[in-house]
Amino acid sequence: MRHFLRDAAVDDFGTAARQATASGATSRRRGGVRRRGRPTRCGGFVAGPWRRSGVGIAWLVAAASAVGAEGPLDADPPPSDLSELIPPSGEPPQRAVERNVVKLLVTKRAPDLFRPWTKAAPAASSGSGVVLVDGRILTNAHVAMHASQIFVQLRQGGDQLPAKVTALAPGIDLALVELLDGAQLGVPGLPLADALPETKTRVSAYGYPTGGDDLSVTDGIVSRIEFAGYYYGAAGVRIQIDAALNPGNSGGPAVQDGKVAGLVFSKIEEADNIGYLIPAEEIRRFLADVADGAFDGTPMLFDEVQSAENAALRSYLGAPDDVTGVVVTRPYRDADDYPLRRWDLITHIGDRPIDNQGYVDVRPGLRLRYHYYVPLAARDGEAPLTILRRGERLQVRVPTRAEAERLVPMLKDRYPEYFIFGPLAFTAATQEHVAALGPRGLSALAAFDSPLLERMGEPPGEPGEQLVVVASRTFPHPITKGYENRALAVVQAVNGAKVRNLRHLAELLRDARDEYLEFDLGGRGESFVFRTREFAAATEHVLADEGIRYRSSDALRDLWPNE
C-alpha cells in the first residue's frame, strides 16, 4: 500500500517487509530466505510490489499496507489478588489457560508456480492454536495456509482430531480451524482481551515450539505497540514482546489476566528476544469480517504521503504554524473525480488531528500512524479527511479499498490459474512468480527488458486486464526446435490481437483459423511462430507425455467442454 510517510515503518515498497518474520510453523522443509540482520518468515515467502523508484524489484517477505484496528480502549487494571482469577473449581489460572492451547499438525500442498497444473510435494509442519470461547480454534494463516490435512491435538489426552480451515486472512495472518463433523474439544475456551495491553506489563506466551513435545510457556514484557506491516500488503497494530519465541510458537496465545492479549506470529531471528503479537482488537475485526463466511479485508487508503516538517515546504503549502499533517505526494488515482491532489496537506482523519510525522494520539502514552483510524472513521466505503489546499481548509471523503489494484497481484492462499495449448503453458503473472525467480532470475528479466518488471507496480489499464506469461519452459516437442527456452515471457499479442487476460488468450488460440500463430513476446528477445494446426495437435501429445490430467485449471475448463 502507498498511504505512508516515506520514512515510515509501513512502506508499501519494502521498508516494513524487513521488520517481521513469522516465528513460524515448525517444518521438515525449511522455507524462506534468511539475510543477516534482517527478519525472514519461516515456512515460506511473501512477494511484494514493484518499487517504483529505482530499477530494482522490491519483492517482500512481508508487504505493508495501511489497515486500521479497533478504537482505543483503556486497559483493565490487573487484579490485586491472583485468587480472583482462580475458577470456582479451584483450578489455577495457568492450568485453565493450558487446557485451551492446542497443537496443530499440518500437511501442506503449496502451489508449484512454474508447474501450475500440479502442486508442490506434501510438507509436514506444526504450529500452535488457541480455543476461543465459541469452540473455534484461532491460529496463524501461515500455519494453516495450503493445508491438505490438519489434525488438532490437545495437551491432555493426546488424540489427533481431524479438522479443517474455515476462514483465512493471509495478510493479517489469522485463520480459524474447526473440527470435522461439528465435533467439540470439550474445553471452555479463552476470551479475548478488551484492550491493548499497557507497555511494561507482563504477558505469558503459550505454544508448542521446536525443542520438545510438551506445551511451552515463556514470559515477556510488552515493550512496544505500533502500527506496522504484516504480510501481502496488509498492516495493523502490532505488539512487541521480549519473550523467547521459536518456530512452532506461531498461532499460540499470549495471555494477560486470563485473556488472550494477542496471538504470536513473528520474530526477528537475528535479534535477542524480539517477537510480535497480533493484538486482540485485530483478532476481533477478523472474526467480525468472516462472520458471513468470507474475508473481505479492512478499508484502507493508498495515497503516498510525506512529513510536513520542512519550513520551506510548509511555506509553499501556505500552512500556518499551528496546522500539522502529512503532504500528499502521489494520489492513489490521477483522475478529476478523485478528491485528493498532489500537495494537499491532510490535517485530520475524522476528528483526529494528525501531527507532522503522521501520528495520532490513541490514549495517554500511545501514538499510532493515522492509518489506524481509517477503518474506524470510514463509512459507506469512504474515509472523511480534512485537508489544506492552497491555504483553504476542505472536508473531503476519500474512497477506501481493501487492497490496491495491481496488474500483477499477489496470489496469497490461492493456486494459479493456467491452461496448456500446444507445447506452452500459460498463466497470469503474480508477485510470487517474480519473487520465486531469485536474484539471477530477476537479472534475466531485466536483461530482456521484460514488461513484467516494468509494470509490476501499475494498476490494470482496463478492467480485467492481466499480464499473461509463459508459465514454464516450453515442453519438449519437435515444433519448438530452435526457440529460446525461457519462463515468464510476457505474451503481449497473438496475430496482432492484444492479449487482455488469460481467458482472452485461451479464446484467441482456441478460435484461431489463420495458417500461422505469431506470438509477440514483450521485451527483447525472439518471438514464436507456429503452424496453427501443428500447434493445436501438439497439445494432446504434451498432456500424455507429461502425465497431465487437465489442460486447464477449473475456471477455464468451460472453454473446452468436450475434453
CA distance readout (Å), 45 to 67, 437, 503: 21, 12, 28
Q: How confident is the model at residue 76 (pLDDT cuts 50, 70, 90)?
A: very low
Residue 149, SS3? strand
- What is the residue-wise DSSP string for 255-310? EETTEEEEEEEEE-TTSSS-EEEEEHHHHHHHHHHGGGSS-----B---EEEE---
Ranges in the chain annotated CATH 3.20.190.20? 418-559
The predicted structure's pLDDT at residue 7:
29
- Residue bearing cell 475434453: 563
The predicted structure's pLDDT at residue 91:
61
CA-CA distance, 561 to 73, in Å (whole number)?
57
CA distance readout (Å), 465 to 381, 403, 503: 24, 17, 10
Please name the amino acid found at residue 378.
Answer: A
Please name the amino acid found at residue 146.
Answer: H
- Residue bearing cell 517481521: 20
Residues marked active site are found at: 142, 250
The predicted structure's pLDDT at residue 486:
79
Cβ atoms of residues 26 and 43 within 8 Å: no
| Torsions phi, psi for 526 (to 5 deg) | -80, 160
Residue 401, SS3? strand
Q: Is the dihedral of CA 249, 252, 257, 258 positive or negative?
A: negative
Topology adopted by domain 1-298: Thrombin, subunit H (2.40.10)
pLDDT of 483 strictly over 70: yes
Residues in contact with 47: Cβ distance below 8 Å, sequence separation at least 6, in sequence order: 59, 60, 63, 410, 411, 430, 431, 432, 433, 434, 435, 436
Q: What is the mean pLDDT of residues 23-37?
A: 40
Closest CA to 485 of 393, 535, 437, 423: 423
| Torsions phi, psi for 392 (to 5 deg) | -100, 130
Q: What is the DSSP letter of 379?
A: B
Most confident of 52-66, 150-164, 339-353: 339-353
Count CB neighbours of 153 within 10 A. 17
Q: What percent of the chain lies above the pLDDT cut of 90?
A: 75
CA distance readout (Å), 285 to 143, 190, 191, 281: 20, 17, 15, 6
User: Quick one: residue 185, left, alpha or beta (phi over 0 = left, psi -120 to 50 = alpha)?
Assistant: alpha
Copy the grid coordinates of residue 167: 476462514
CA-CA distance, 75 to 52, in Å (whole number)?
41
Question: What does the pLDDT look like over 96-118, one tens digit per residue?
Answer: 899 999 999 999 999 999 999 99
Residue 15 or 382, more confident: 382
Cβ atoms of residues 178 and 290 within 8 Å: no
Topology adopted by domain 418-559: N-terminal domain of MutM-like DNA repair proteins (3.20.190)
Q: How confident is the model at residue 84 (pLDDT cuts 50, 70, 90)?
A: very low
Copy the grid coordinates of residue 276: 510480535
Residues in a beta bridge with 219: 204
- Residue bearing cell 484492550: 195
Topology adopted by domain 304-399: Pdz3 Domain (2.30.42)
CA-CA distance, 215 to 124, in Å (whole number)?
19
Q: Which helix (H) or strand (E) holds 366?
A: strand 366-369
Alpha helices in 102-232 (DSSP H): 141-144
Q: What is the mean pLDDT of residues 505-511?
A: 98
The predicted structure's pLDDT at residue 42:
36
Q: How confident is the model at residue 338 (pLDDT cuts 50, 70, 90)?
A: very high
Alpha helices in 465-501 (DSSP H): none
The predicted structure's pLDDT at residue 462:
94
Q: What is the mean pLDDT of residues 157-164?
A: 88
CA-CA distance, 50 to 40, in Å (whole number)?
19
The predicted structure's pLDDT at residue 38:
39
Question: What does the pLDDT look like over 277-315, one tens digit per residue?
Answer: 999 999 999 999 999 999 999 999 999 999 999 999 999
Question: What does the pLDDT look like over 432-442, one tens digit per residue?
Answer: 999 999 999 99
What's the longest Cα–Cα distance across the chain?
A: 86
The predicted structure's pLDDT at residue 85:
45
The predicted structure's pLDDT at residue 89:
52
Residues in contact with 234: Cβ distance below 8 Å, sequence separation at least 6, in sequence order: 63, 64, 65, 67, 169, 171, 172, 297, 298, 403
pLDDT of 63 strictly over 90: no
Ranges in the chain annotated CATH 2.30.42.10? 304-399
The predicted structure's pLDDT at residue 78:
40
The predicted structure's pLDDT at residue 66:
33
Cβ atoms of residues 429 and 488 within 8 Å: yes
Residues in a beta bridge with 305: 328
Q: How confident is the model at residue 9 (pLDDT cuts 50, 70, 90)?
A: very low
CA-CA distance, 287 to 307, in Å (whole number)?
34
- Beta strand pairing status for 528-531 and 516-521? antiparallel
pLDDT of 364 strictly over 70: yes
Q: What percent of the chain lies above the pLDDT cut of 70?
A: 83
Q: What is the mean pLDDT of residues 242-271?
A: 93
Q: How confident is the model at residue 184 (pLDDT cuts 50, 70, 90)?
A: confident
CA-CA distance, 332 to 323, in Å (whole number)?
24
Please name the amino acid found at residue 64.
Answer: A
Ranges in the chain annotated CATH 2.40.10.120? 1-298
The predicted structure's pLDDT at residue 90:
55
Q: Output the average pLDDT for the chain.
A: 85
The predicted structure's pLDDT at residue 270:
81
| Torsions phi, psi for 129 (to 5 deg) | -155, 165
Residue 478, SS3? helix
The predicted structure's pLDDT at residue 562:
82
CA-CA distance, 408 to 433, in Å (whole number)?
10
Question: What does the pLDDT look like over 366-391, one tens digit per residue?
Answer: 999 999 999 999 999 999 999 999 99
